[in-house]
């Protein structure tokens, strides 16, 4: 069984998948994913085309961030990362353990109390897996842009992939240890528990009693000697749950698993628990123009030629040919051509600048492949309006802040996205820029803040930039602790 490639991809469901706003630009990622009011380089088409209206600016200053030097620029940025929603990393690790224990228990049965507790933990882990709010999203984009005065053109390929657990199957989990066979194994190898119900309710004990082959009434009303085998097994299960404490499952989870398993075939190879993997690759060419209406205000617009590829497949989690099924993902795709429309505005007063950028006003939609048979869905890019503020009190120090105005859908319909971020750039050292910031999803109250850092090295005619973003919250995955969100970016650019 080869689960790792599948489990790492687990997670999030969708009726009509949507796309979060990609973070494009190494400089902007380092500054807290902010740049609506302060970007004037080759990434202008994605941040605010109104910046193209400032064709020239006052001479002076070490850096041309606000137009002190020629606005002409060319550059390339590569960004990649992942975002884990909920506790999916921990659940993925638990599922790997659960799968291994399921095979062991199916082959050898319940040989001691540790095996019984492993069976109970499987009930907990499988129940936790059945939560589409827990998700992992992998993202990446490569963007190249050229700015010539008040015009700019770019090319960006942005992709994301996610999946969600589906068809959770509790019927076909543990082979050859259901009904009275399981009760016999428990009673033969596990010390008897007391007669009290400490973890199970009477109704849950009744359900487990019946699942273990108990007859002659319900657990709560049994007379002495009536199906003592199933009675003793229920007591041992209750005692094992008590010892596990918070690490153990709820009574409802155990009753659900054992009741379902009792009515199943018990063959793991027939388990239908699956993962739906959906991917989206967007290739777009923005053509942008900016024009000033006064010395203090500028408007801009972009028309984007867009091609979206939606692909996906459904994979059985417990099958042996996971790699082969994942290869099939490449063959299940559909390309759709569409257009996108963006509008921008900027105003400046002294050391301050404000920007407004409205993107994808026409909500472009990209179709899913019919051959996926409902495994994946159409993809929509929701409109978004971002307001940004910039302050540059001195030539070598810039502060930027952005906030999105709308909660938009993501590939996981249970998670909405609305990004807000702020950061700074310190450029007092020749040929070196230092950046830092923070951003977060203010539409998700459980999302931790993400801290960013970055640096630029070299003269304006050849600059190398790097940035990283890391969530402040970690999750356990085996022996490692991984951040719930991690992004990295590197770019090269030139102002001329």
Those residues with Cβ within 8 angstroms of residue 105's Cβ, 6 or more apart along the chain or in another chain: 115, 118, 119, 174, 177
Dig out the tokens for 416 from the structure: 């909405």
pLDDT at 63 over 50: no
The pLDDT value given to residue 268: 61
Q: What is the mean pLDDT of residues 235-240?
A: 87
Q: Tell me what the mean pLDDT of segment 396-422 comes to.
A: 89
Mean pLDDT of 279-306: 94
Q: Which residues pair with 140 in a beta bridge?
A: 80, 159
pLDDT at 371: 62
H or E stretch covering 304: strand 297-316
pLDDT at residue 323 in the model: 53
Gap between the Cα atoms of 379 and 16, Å rounded:
6
Highest mean pLDDT among 101-105, 262-266, 381-385, 415-419: 381-385
Per-residue pLDDT of 360-376, as tens digits, reads 999 999 998 876 545 67
The pLDDT score that the predictor gives to residue 110 is 74
**For residue 410, is pLDDT > 60?**
yes
8 A C-beta contact, residue 152 and residue 49: yes
269 confidence band (pLDDT: 50, 70, 90): low
The per-residue pLDDT for range 429-487, each reduced to its tens digit, is 989 999 999 999 999 888 899 999 999 999 888 999 999 999 988 776 666 777 889 99
Domain locations along the chain: 19-86+140-165+271-495, 89-128+179-263
Q: What percent of the chain shows pLDDT beyond 70?
A: 73
DSSP state of 492: E
**What pLDDT is stored for residue 319 in this prediction?**
60
**pLDDT tens across 480-493, in order?**
777 889 999 999 99
Residue 207 has pLDDT above 60, yes or no: yes
Query: pLDDT tens for residues 146-190?
Result: 999 899 999 999 988 876 666 666 666 655 555 677 788 888 888
The whole-number pLDDT of residue 1 equals 36
Quick: pLDDT tens for 10-62: 333 334 667 778 899 999 999 999 999 999 899 999 999 999 988 654 333 33
pLDDT > 90 fraction of the chain, expressed in percent and rounded: 38
- Average pLDDT value over all residues in the chain: 80
pLDDT of the residue at 471:
94
Nearest to 86 by CA among 366, 392, 485: 485
User: What is the predicted pLDDT for the residue at 330?
Assistant: 53
pLDDT given for residue 14 in this prediction: 39
19-86+140-165+271-495 folds as: Porin (2.40.160)
Convert the pLDDT of each residue in 114-127 to its tens digit: 777 777 777 777 66
Tens digits of per-residue pLDDT, 312-345? 777 776 665 555 545 455 557 889 999 999 999 9
Cα separations in angstroms, 426 against 33, 62, 351, 423, 458: 16, 11, 16, 10, 14
pLDDT for res 114: 79
The C-alpha torsion from 311 through 314 and 317 to 320, rounded to 10°, is -90
pLDDT for res 358: 97
The answer to whether 310 touches 366, Cβ cutoff 8 Å, is: yes
């Amino acid at each position: 069984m080869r689960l790792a490639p599948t489990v790492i991809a687990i997670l999030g469901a969708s009726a009509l998948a949507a796309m979060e706003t990609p973070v494009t630009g190494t400089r902007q990622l380092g500054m807290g994913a902010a740049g609506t009011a302060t970007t004037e380089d080759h990434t202008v088409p994605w941040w605010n085309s109104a910046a193209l209206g400032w064709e020239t600016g006052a001479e002076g200053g070490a850096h041309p961030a606000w137009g002190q030097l020629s606005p002409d620029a060319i550059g390339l940025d590569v960004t990649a990362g992942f975002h884990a929603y909920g506790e999916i990393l921990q659940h993925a690790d638990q599922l790997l353990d659960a799968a291994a224990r399921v095979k062991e228990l199916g082959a050898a049965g319940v040989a001691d109390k540790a095996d019984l507790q492993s069976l109970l933990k499987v009930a907990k882990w499988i129940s936790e897996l059945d939560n589409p709010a827990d998700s992992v999203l992998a993202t990446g984009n490569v963007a190249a842009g050229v700015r010539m005065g008040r015009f700019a053109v770019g090319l960006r390929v942005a992709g994301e992939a996610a999946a969600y657990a589906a068809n959770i199957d509790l019927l076909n989990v543990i082979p050859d240890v259901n009904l009275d066979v399981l009760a016999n194994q428990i009673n033969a190898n596990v010390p008897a528990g007391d007669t009290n119900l400490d973890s199970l309710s009477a109704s849950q004990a009744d359900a487990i009693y019946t699942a273990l082959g108990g007859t002659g009434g319900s657990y709560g009303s049994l007379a002495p000697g009536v199906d003592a085998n199933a009675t003793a097994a229920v007591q041992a299960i209750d005692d094992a749950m008590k010892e596990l404490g918070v690490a153990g499952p709820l009574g409802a989870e155990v009753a659900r698993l054992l009741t379902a398993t009792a009515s199943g075939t018990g063959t793991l190879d027939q388990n239908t628990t699956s993962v739906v993997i959906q991917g989206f690759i967007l290739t777009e060419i923005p053509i942008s123009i900016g024009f000033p209406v006064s010395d203090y205000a500028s408007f801009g617009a972009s028309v984007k030629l867009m091609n979206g590829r939606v692909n996906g497949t459904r994979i059985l989690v417990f099958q042996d040919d996971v790699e082969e099924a994942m290869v099939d993902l490449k063959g299940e795709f559909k390309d759709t051509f569409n257009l996108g429309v963006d509008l921008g505005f900027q105003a400046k007063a002294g050391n301050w600048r404000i920007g407004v950028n409205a993107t994808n006003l026409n909500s472009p939609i990209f179709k899913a492949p019919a051959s996926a048979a409902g495994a994946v869905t159409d993809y929509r890019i929701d409109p978004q309006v971002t307001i940004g503020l910039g302050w540059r009190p001195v030539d070598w120090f810039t502060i930027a802040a952005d906030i999105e105005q709308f909660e938009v859908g993501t590939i996981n319909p249970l998670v909405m996205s609305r990004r807000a971020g702020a950061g700074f750039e310190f450029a007092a050292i020749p040929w070196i820029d230092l950046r830092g910031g923070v951003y977060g999803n203010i539409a998700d109250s459980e999302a931790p803040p993400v801290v960013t850092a970055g640096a630029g090295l070299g003269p304006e005619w050849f600059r190398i930039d790097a940035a990283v973003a890391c969530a402040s919250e970690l999750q356990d995955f085996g022996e490692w602790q991984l951040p719930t969100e991690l992004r990295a970016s590197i770019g090269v650019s030139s102002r001329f």
